[in-house]
Chain A
Amino acid sequence: MITTIKAALRRVSLAAVILPLTGAIMIANIVLVTQRAHAAQLTSRSLSVSSSANGTITTGNPGSGSNGQKAAHTATFTLGTSGATVGSIAIFYCDSPIPQTSCTTPTGLTAANLTSATVSGQTGSFSLDTTTTDPTVTGYGTCNGGGTVRTNCVLVKAASGQVQTGTPTVTITYGGGASNYITNPSADNQTFYARIVVFSDTAYTTVVDAGSVASSTAQQIDITAKVQETLNFSVGSTVTAPGTSCTAFSDSGALTLGDVNGVLSFTQAYDAFSYFRVSTNAANGTKVYYSGDTLKSGTNSITAAGTTAVSSAVGSSQFGLGLDSTNASYSFTSLTKTAPYDSADGTITNAGTAKFAFDTASITAPKQVASSSGTITCDTGSVRYIGNVSTTTPPGIYTTTITYLAVPTY
């Protein structure tokens, strides 16, 4: 019988070594089937570990999947003997599940830092035993390390033997805290075993039921990825919806300012809109600037509105710009407007509520119109331009090119 079991266990051990690469939970719940000659078999046995990381890994919080040094273990089993009296339970951590063979503590594993255990499912109250002198249970193992710092075993007991009803399923949970934990074996992909022994007395003497379970540490997969610096910045004069991918503008950028024929008037102000759209993962903010000259026709020019926001002055030569937050396409979530280009909402009748500015010094020193303090998911700015002329503004075709710049800081 023993020979057969060993052969089976070798195959299962192979599975236990390979499976860790597919997931810790699968590995932690591998159940070995063993039999013992002098005690009934615990059934439905398992040992669940909070982490399959080896005992040197502390990447995550105690009790998490990436902390093998401060792990939690949960042993679950169903008593094999119906109506048994249970006074104590011992869990021996060994390099072999086979009773009657020596129990060598898996390298690096230690239960010395356990301060409590939770036992449920059975009749009677059981708790972590830190007082009993290290017992030796013939055929299963010897606790070592001392009463409060046992390195290779976990003992729980009741005040006295407790008569159980039927065959209850018992769950024992311990560790997973910052100062109450069990440390996994120190090597990757190392199989280790727990021999669970149930006693009728509180001195770990009379065995009622027993069974073994297996678990394993597993190699942690280190996945590295790099998110590169991104900036999607586009400018256009025809609005398109950003969609889910923050679609860039792709038109020619041509814009006509004036009536249907692109003609300005000394009796009426005209406006027009262009747009910019930006998304970036720059964590330290982004600034948006404009650069350009006022409208010019040869040596003639339309007067720039200047560096202070002013209202429309119908009948005067005037060219300016500002951000209009009432435009249907305007959508600032992360960006904020920058004065004096922050008040182009409203009317453009003479002395209207909308205000504009334009600094021709932007040709060599671009001027900021908006900024953010962090990343930008997808913001769209609507820039409103105003054009007024006086009766003396020389006739002609006036043009200018305005360039917008985005400067993200990573």
Chain B
Amino acid sequence: MRRLGFICVLVTTVSVLLVSPVVLPRIAAADTLQQRSLFLSNTAPSASSDEVFNFTYQTAAVIGSVSFEYCDSPLEQVPCVAPGGMDASAATLQDQSGVTGFSMESASANKLIIGRVPAAIAGHWAASYSFGSVVNPSGAPHSFYVRINTYSSSDGSGASIDYGAVVNSTTQSVQISTEVPPILNFCVGQSIPTDCSSADGDVVDLGVLRSSSAATGTSQFLVGTNAQFGLAVTAAGTTMTSGNNVIPALASPTPSAPGTAQFGLNLRANTSPPIGADPTGPGVASPSSQYNIVNRFVFHPNDVIVASSGTTDTRKFTVSYLANVPASQPPGVYTATLTYICTASF
């Protein structure tokens, strides 16, 4: 029996040792603030943030002040260690609702106290307090806690009435980067029904030239750019020739005159002869003045025929070609090759 008694004492001692470490001190008699949250306008480490505290007072009591203490633990039994880099010393009380009438009583690096003339409130009052210019903790993103206490005194002294903690976290931001390249959207074709992907053909056949009527044809080009200083489209090439025979180009904007040797072009919807179309599309590029006259045709090699002074969205131009010949025009196959060159200035 003596041995049994010794064993029992030993077992009891071991049991107490096992249990004791998990027994925490009892919390003070404060009630717990409910519906607690902390909203940060900016969660980047070390950023200056606006903070909004929401909570519901629980105890019907005289309330004179509220303290907000920034710590690395929410437990009121654990000494408060301020999160590194935390700085609320310049905080301002920006807004309040529910239980109101507060002003800043004090602000230190990790503790704010707002106070008012003590006044009684009923229990279960929802309230909100907004602070500006609170500098978040520094370092790698991590959680931090704010211990909230209410007091009857106006300066945060005395026993706490209600208590509650909230947690929030600094976070890594997402830094998105991208590049918009210099863009020149330019294409030429006999026709371009929609966009450059639909450009088609490179031959314009004016048919058989007669002295009694004008020969006409069209081609199209589409242009757009994000060049800050705009673009210019030039038409390089020669007038129509057949060996040594030439149909002279019109030196100035001139109406069609069948029976006269003429070669020219413009960028408008003409009626005499009925050929061509006005520019279309959302861009702002426009024909040069000499090529922008209805029923007038002209051609100077290397002329700028379309230009914009800045960026321009896509715009489609229709080039109308006119050829007239006199009865004495030497027979032959007359051809011309025009090369359109778009130069954008970024």
Which residues of A are interface residues toward B (Cβ below 8 A)? 8, 11-12, 14-15, 18-19, 21-22, 221-226, 228-237, 248-258, 261-266, 270, 272, 274, 276, 282, 284, 291-292, 295, 297, 302, 364, 366, 383, 385, 387, 389-410
Contacts and interface: CB of A to CB of B under 8 A. Distances in A.
Contacts of A387: 178
A200 B26 CA distance: 57
Nearest to A316: B313
Nearest 5 pairs of A and B residues by beta carbon: A11-B1, A391-B224, A409-B37, A257-B178, A392-B311
A200 B79 CA distance: 71
B35 A409 contact: yes
A142 B8 CA distance: 34
Nearest to A20: B12
B23 A224 contact: yes
A255 B174 CA distance: 7
Interface of B: 1-2, 4-5, 8-9, 11-12, 15-16, 19, 22-24, 26-27, 35-44, 54, 73-75, 77, 140-141, 143, 145, 164-169, 171-183, 185, 224-226, 228, 311-314, 346
Contacts of B24: 224-226
Contacts of A231: 143, 167-169
Given A224-B23, A256-B177, 11 more contacts: A15-B4, A15-B5, A21-B16, A229-B167, A235-B171, A392-B312, A394-B226, A402-B173, A402-B176, A403-B44, A408-B167
Nearest to B178: A257
A399 B178 CA distance: 6
B177 A225 contact: no
Contacts of B185: 266, 391
B173 A390 contact: no
Nearest to B224: A391
Contacts of B75: 226, 228
Contacts of A14: 5, 8
Given A253-B173, A391-B314, A19 B40 contact: no
Nearest to B181: A263
Contacts of A221: 19
A230 to B, nearest CB: 7
A258 B178 contact: yes
A229 B75 CA distance: 9
28 contacts: A11-B4, A22-B12, A221-B19, A229-B145, A234-B141, A235-B173, A235-B174, A248-B141, A253-B173, A254-B175, A255-B174, A255-B176, A262-B179, A263-B178, A295-B176, A295-B178, A383-B174, A393-B183, A394-B226, A395-B182, A398-B180, A401-B173, A403-B173, A404-B43, A404-B173, A405-B43, A405-B171, A407-B168
